[in-house]
Amino acid sequence: MWSTPNFVYKVLIWILLARQSSAIKYKFSLENEDVFTNCPNKPSNVLNVSGLFDTSESTFKTDFVSVRFSGNLTCAWNIQPGDRIQISVQLNRFDRGSWQPTVFNMHVRDFCASLYEKEQYWYKFWSKYIINKEQVREKCILPGTKFIHEPFDVDLLLEAQGLPLIGQHKLVYTFKAFDTNGVERETSICFEMLGEFQRL
Ligand SMILES: *[C@@H]1O[C@H](CO)[C@@H](O)[C@H](O)[C@H]1NC(C)=O
Ligand SMILES: *[C@@H]1O[C@H](CO)[C@@H](O)[C@H](O)[C@H]1NC(C)=O
């Protein structure tokens, strides 16, 4: 559990301020046609992206410049009403034969509270394209909830200062659920997106 209040609702390091003139804009180009890959070496209670979403009504099409997504995602993770969903996204870089963490990471203590907030990173590249927001808003990602999307290009943009982001990177997404007593649910979710950054 994140006990430091500083972590609460912090989405910040991730989207460094656009106003900083020295920031470099990047687009994350996915390496894998399947978009999502499994986190390596996880115990069996850590589910992959299929544990989060049923993607049977959706398609990802890539022309190796962009990935175009269309269709529906149906939530599959067996969480309960009232659970708090905590997510983290960590950017790792492949360096001298192994994956190393970078300074880019994001922790969100209560994902459901901010799923449709316009300032959020995921809103810009995902949840703003959900057509039936109003119908599913209250359900967050409870099992059976179906997100119906207008087709969109998966554009993962990042602005960063400092050293250029060169070479192979991966975004590691982790979802954890906690019941109303703060006890973590038995299963969690982990999946990755592999790719490289292109300067825009
Ligand atoms: C995700 O996990 C399920 C169950 O372990 C497995 O059947 C499925 O092939 C996995 N998906 C991918 C993309 O590897
Ligand atoms: C998405 O869900 C809607 C509503 O259930 C359905 O009408 C539509 O056919 C689904 N789209 C696909 C690609 O299955």
DSSP string, 79-148: --TT-EEEEEEEEEEEETTEEEEEEEEEEES-HHHHTT-TTSHHHHHTGGGBTTHHHHGGGTT-TT-EEE
Is the pLDDT reported for residue 132 higher than 80? yes
- Measured in Å, residue 72 CA sits from the centre of ligand 2 at 6
Rg (CA), the chain: 17
Residues in contact with ligand 1 by the CB-under-6-Å rule are: 38, 48, 50
* Residue 100 pLDDT greater than 90, yes or no: yes
d(CA 131, CA 174): 25
The total number of residues shown for the chain amounts to 200
As for ligand 2, residues whose beta carbon falls within 6 Å of it are 57, 71-72, 148
Specify the pTM: 0.86
Residue 21: the pLDDT is: 56
Smallest-distance ligand from the CA of 53: 1
- Taking CA atoms, 137 is separated from 31, 113, 128, 153, in Å, by 32, 10, 12, 22
Q: Nearest residue CA, atom 1 of ligand 2?
A: 72
CA dihedral 155, 117, 5, 186 (to 10 degrees): -70
The reported pLDDT for the residue numbered 139 is 96
Of 59, 69, 70, 67, which is closest to residue 31 (Cα–Cα)? 67
Tell me what pLDDT residue 122 has. 87
Q: How many helices (H) and strands (E) does the chain have?
A: 4, 12
The residue among 149 and 18 whose pLDDT is bigger is 149
| pLDDT for residue 13 is more than 50 | no
> 69 is written with which tokens?
């997504």
